[in-house]
Structure formats: structure tokens, C-alpha cells
Structure 1
Amino acid sequence: MAFQESLGTSPVRVAIIGYGLAGSVFHAPLVDATPDMKVAAIVTGNKERQQSARKRYPNAKILSQVADLWQNASNYDLAVVATSNNMHVPLGIAALRAGLPVVIDKPMAATVNDAQQLLTVSHETGQLLTVFQNRRWDNDFLTVRKILDANLLGPIIRFESRFERYRPTPRQGVWRESADPQAAGGQLYDLGSHLIDQALYLFGKPKRVYAEMFQRRPGAQVDDDSFVALQFASGITAHLWMSQVARIAGQRMRVSGLNGTYEKWGLDPQEDALRTGKQPGDPDWGREPRERWGHLSTNLSEDGVHFDGPIETVPGAYERYYAGVRDALTKGTPLPVDPNSVLEVIRVIEAAQTSAREQRTVTIS
């Protein structure tokens, strides 16, 4: 029986595994805001998080252990793995084998081999697998896509993108700061997985990768200040920065072409909005004021007149991700994020690690 036939007119019942930052701030609110989807279960063994989940989602089942979810997998239509990175692969495989389609938080896996295991099990079980690369729906990235689609910059020369923060002290006991390779900690896996994904989405697979990775903060066990350069067959170069030690952040994005340049400062507002309890559907969701718009200078404007000034930012739209997941499950439309594309992101991360370790440029076949 097809999924849509078995689902009927009922909403897609989503079980969220993990209720830390990813589960509570991103996944649960976005699922809750998506028409024809509902948060049906939340799995967390943390008592405080259980209490918080019950308060916000009183109709959801709160499960203390994931075994309870597998035993009643037929009560759900989708599993979301929003745990620490080291559990992405085992929980993703277990969910697929339990008969559940799966959303896995980025970066999906720590290695290409682990990611390929997930893809293999997805194929064997016939269950859908996708990855939460939400920053494909950031306002700045959507604006860059619109500008490139309109060919307002001419042939592209360079793409610059950065996520820079200031957290001068490593947080003890946090998996993101762990040196365990399976934890996939550090900036290359965290913020870097977003930056690399965006670059590959725009320009395809790179030919060469060069990277610098540093542990700047006293006591840091993983990279906290890194740089990656990607060279594409088209001649485009992408320069990507990710840091925890930048007290003043640089430009979020800058795209240079032979006929124009676009630059944007400041971060997409959706994450901060989600942290304060807002969600899609609220007034002005994803929008930002004029003073935060980016700057476009081009002699290829749509009306044929040279343009140099602020250009309205396309509103951010994280809600499109879960709407796409819903439609893939119920209508058979393409997944919002093809896991094979994220496999290529991990391949670039591995090449960047090799480049930084051996201090050389790595060619990707």
C-alpha cells in the first residue's frame, strides 16, 4: 500500500529523537508549524527536557528511551534524528530498519563510509532518507540564488561566505568540543557543513580543496578557527571561513562576477526567532528591515540600467524544508535535500582535513 493511501487524510506523525538545541529549537517547532504534520512523539531521557517537551507539546508522547519508539514504530510516519553527531548513523539505520523514513540532522555522518551505510540501508529498506540542511533556506542564500538565476553579476569569479562567532572559552563536556572522531566536533563539521553545502549547491562538485584548521582557544580539542578554499571546474573559487574567535564578524556573503558584486552583512534572523519561541506563520517571519539588506552593484540590472545600492533580501524560509519532506512522503515529490548531495559535502570535509593535516591542496577525483 502506498504511503499516501495508508496515511489517508491524517497528518504526518513525526517522532523526534533528541530534544537538545536541534530538537527543541529547530525540528519540533518547524514540524509543528507545517500543515498536515504533527509532533507525535519526543524521545529524551533528560527529565528537564521531558518537562519542557510536555509543556510545549502536550499531545505528544514523551518517551524516555528510543527502544519504546522502535516497539511502536507503526504509530509514526517519520523519525527525526536530532541527537549528538555520534548517534546519527546507528539511530538512522535503526529507524530505517524499523520501517520509518528518516530526517537526520547535518552533517549526517562523520565519514563518507558511514554516510554510505545510511544510503545503503535506505535503499535496502525502501525508506526515504534526507538531511536537515536548513541553511539552504537562509535569507542571504535565497537572495544569492535569485541574483545568480537572473544573471545580474555576469560570469562568477569568487564566492565568499563565513560564519563567525565569539565564544572564547571551550564548553567542557559538550560533544561539539570533543576530539572523538565519531563525535564530528569542531567548526568544519558544524558551521563548515553549512558553508560547504551552500557552495556545492550553487556550483557543483569542486576539483580541488585547500584548508587551514586551528585550535586557537586555550584547552580547545577541535578546530575553532578554520578556512576552506574550493576550486571548481568552471573557474569559480569559493572561500569559506568558520570561527569561534571572531569578536567582530566579517561579511556573511560576497559574490563577485565580471559585471557586478553582491555583499551581505549579518545573519539570517530565523534561528534567533526560533530560540525566542517564534515560528513560521508569525508576523514578518524570515524578513529583515531595510537597513540590513545587502548591497548590489551591477551593470546588468533587469531593466538594463546600471544599479548600485541596497537590494531587498528574500525572506528566509526554513518552513519549506519540512513542507518538502511532507510532500515527498505523501505525494512522491523529490526530497528537499538529496542525501547524495550531503555525501559530497562530507567528501569535501574529509579532503579539507587531509589538506590541513598535510599542508597541501587535495584533488577530488
Structure 2
Amino acid sequence: MITPIKTGLCSFGSSGEVFHAPLISCSEGFELHAVVERHSDRAIAKYPSIKHYKDVQELFDDPELELIVVNTPNNTHFDFAARALKAGKHVLIEKPFSNSVEEGNELINLAKVRHKVLTVFHNRRWDGDFKIIKEVIDNGVLGRLVDAEFRFERYRRTLNVKKHKELIGPGSGLLYELGTHIFDQALVLFGKPETVFADIRTTRDNSLIDDYFDVLFFYPRFRLRLRSSMLVKEEGPGYVLNGTMGSFRKNRMNLQEDSLKAGMLPTDEGYGIEPKKQWGLLNAEINGKQVRKHLKTPPSNYMDFYNALYESIREGKKAPIEPQDALLGIELIEACYQSQHEKRIIAIR
């Protein structure tokens, strides 16, 4: 018998409204129990049965809550996650996991002491484009990989209306926003690099934070380039893989995000199914024959993350994202800033 995990959201911004609330409300294993909204009542209008709080401390003090989702601005992640753990709650943190390796280690140790599940919403592992990239790498169709490039680009010339996203401070900048996604994907696919080199810049007019990066991860006999910018009007392929036997290219799609924003639910028919015209292109030599074809993108659903989280909390299974894995991504971000500052390649311990 399923006993739903009563869950609270620390905010009802785009992360809470678009991603977490729909996923939680569609899952048998979770119950959307409470939401913090300081300046509006959108959450209770959409989910009238929930508790509606004006301060996060009310969330931490709610004795019925088992899980708290920390989906507030980056600079609050450590404080809110630590307070939730100390209140005896399981914690799901939106990316980035932390603003420093030191903070991340402190949260991991706190979760161990309190015997609570601590995980991170690296949802891009459950995107179809990433799934097909992993499938191509795992089946070895490209032979030995020589180099690869992952790009996560946008065109946003004007500054974000959410002013906290444009302020210099802990967790600010594109590396902590989009970089955390592709760094995590890189670590899943290739593991920890031996060294890194980073070019990090500010490119938009009047911007205070870094909004461009070009990073190299160095592996034995393999190089991975990770790029992001806020000033790319015509996006290139999101993923490019080159190996001794061929290449694979795939455009990046925000399929699930766009569907959720349009009001589609993860339980709706057709959710997470990518149109054929968006499938990635394989060009390789297979069994002595030249093959050039599009590969079907696997179905994708962020509900798989929440299903795994339920099993972690109720059945003691491994967390969907281990906090130690997420912490490695933060370590690499710190190394990239060191590389930018010192203008040199940085060895990863």
C-alpha cells in the first residue's frame, strides 16, 4: 500500500509552478501538502486543498511534512536545506546543490547525522536528448570517442526581471544556472576529468554576472567542450559526439519544460514523446557499411525522478541523485572559476 509523502514547496515561482507542483500532484507517492507564497495566492488558487504559508519557517515547523523542496534563489539553498534537515525533514534541493564545496559537505554530513534523504533535482538526466546520447555512447556505435561538445544556449539580450538572478553573489552566474545541468550530464557519461580549462565572460550590456562560458574537460585521449551563452540567436546542435567510427548530432530540446509550461501533465498521452523531425543524426560505419540515419529519441518523464525519490524515502533505496555526485559538479565549477582567474589549466583531485 502506498503512503503518500506529504511535501512542501519553499516557493511557487517557475520551478515550483512549472516543475514540482505538477509532478507531485500527479504522483501516487506524494501529496502536495503546503506551499510558501509571500506575495501572491496563485498556489492555493490552483491547489485549493493545500496549506498556504507566508514564511518558510512555517513550512519547517509543520509536523505533518516529510519532504521539503528547496526551490528558492540559489543563495538561500544552503540555509533553507540546513534548516529543513534540522527540523527532521527529507530534502530535495533545486540545482545548484550548493554554492560551494564546503557548504555541500556540511549538508551531506547533516543529512547523515539526521538520517534523512538529501537529493538534488538534476532533472536533465531524465530528458530524451540526454537518454539518446547515453544510448549512443553505451552501445559503442561511434567506436572510441575522440571529442564531444555539449551546448546549452539561449538568446536573452535584456536582463532577467528576477533581479536576484542578475546580482553578484553566491551561486550567481551562468555556470551555476545552466552549467550545473551540462556538468552533471558530463559526469554521468564520462566521469571526473583529469583537468579543466575555462573561459568565463560577461557579454550582455549592463550585465554584472557572467553570462557566457566555454569550458574544456580533459580526459585521457578524449576532450569534452561545454559551452553556454545568453546571446545565441541561432542555436547549434546541443550535443555533438565524434568517434573513430562516426559522429552523432542532436539538437537540444526543452520538450518536457515546454509541455509543462503549456499545461500538459506528465500523465497525459503523448507527454515526453519527441517529434521525429527532432531526432538526432547518426553517421557511422557499422559492420563495414556506411550508415546515415536518424535515431528515435526515447520517451522521457521527470516523474521517474520522483518515483525513485519515493523508493529512496519509503524503501531505503539509493537517492535518484546522490548528493556526493552533485557536489562533484560544484567542485568543477569552482575549478573553472580558478582557471578563469589564474588563466591556466586546473588539475582535478
Which residue number corresponds to residue 67 of structure 1?
Answer: 57
Mapped to 1, the partners of 2:25 and 2:320 lie a distance apart of: 18
Q: 2:262 aligns with which of 276, 284, 287?
A: 276
Q: Is the 8 A contact 1:140 1:268 kept in 2?
A: no
Mapped to 2, the partners of 1:153 and 1:31 lie a distance apart of: 39
Q: Is 2:156 aligned against 1:167? A: yes
Which residue number corresponds to residue 212 of structure 2?
Answer: 225
Mapped to 2, the partners of 1:192 and 1:9 lie a distance apart of: 36
TM-score, normalising length: structure 1: 0.92
Per-residue deviation, residues 193-222 of structure 1 (Å, max 9, x unmatched): 101110011011111111111111111111
Q: Is 2:30 aligned against 1:37? A: yes
1:162-241 counterparts in 2 under 5 A?
162-171=151-160, 174-180=163-169, 182=170, 184-232=171-219, 234-241=220-227
Q: 1:251 aligns with which of 230, 237, 245?
A: 237
Mapped to 2, the partners of 1:311 and 1:64 lie a distance apart of: 48
Q: 2:84 aligns with which of 95, 103, 110?
A: 95
Which residue number corresponds to residue 10 of structure 1?
Answer: 3
Q: Which runs of 5+ in 1 are unaligned?
A: 1-7
Q: 1:55 aligns with which of 45, 48, 51?
A: 45
Q: Is the 8 A contact 1:325 1:335 kept in 2?
A: yes
Per-residue deviation, residues 343-362 of structure 1 (Å, max 9, x unmatched): 10000000101111221111
1:143-162 counterparts in 2 under 5 A?
143-162=132-151
Bigger mean CA deviation after superposition, 30-39 or 322-331:
30-39
Q: Equivalent residue of 2:172, what SS?
A: coil
Residue 228 of structure 1, CA deviation: 0.8
Structural RMSD (CA): 1.4
Q: Which runs of 5+ in 2 are unaligned?
A: none
Q: Is 2:13 aligned against 1:20? A: yes
- Number of residue-to-residue matches in the alignment: 349
Mapped to 1, the partners of 2:183 and 2:162 lie a distance apart of: 27
Q: 1:298 aligns with which of 272, 284, 296?
A: 284
Mapped to 1, the partners of 2:2 and 2:326 lie a distance apart of: 32
TM-score, normalising length: structure 2: 0.96
Mapped to 2, the partners of 1:358 and 1:172 lie a distance apart of: 33
Which residue number corresponds to residue 102 of structure 2?
Answer: 113
**Regions of 4+ moved over 4 Å:** none
Per-residue deviation, residues 241-273 of structure 1 (Å, max 9, x unmatched): 111011111111011111121101241311111
Mapped to 2, the partners of 1:188 and 1:266 lie a distance apart of: 18
What is the identity percentage for the equivalent residue pairs of Structure 1 and Structure 2? 33
Mapped to 2, the partners of 1:173 and 1:26 lie a distance apart of: 18
Q: Is the 8 A contact 2:119 2:321 kept in 1?
A: yes
Opposite residue 338 of structure 2, the aligned amino acid is: T
Mapped to 1, the partners of 2:322 and 2:147 lie a distance apart of: 25
Which residue number corresponds to residue 4 of structure 1?
Answer: none
Which residue number corresponds to residue 3 of structure 1?
Answer: none
Mapped to 1, the partners of 2:115 and 2:312 lie a distance apart of: 13
Residue 281 of structure 1, CA deviation: 1.2
Q: Equivalent residue of 1:185, what SS?
A: coil
Q: Equivalent residue of 1:246, what SS?
A: coil
Q: Is the 8 A contact 1:268 1:316 kept in 2?
A: no
Which residue number corresponds to residue 5 of structure 1?
Answer: none
Which residue number corresponds to residue 308 of structure 1?
Answer: 292
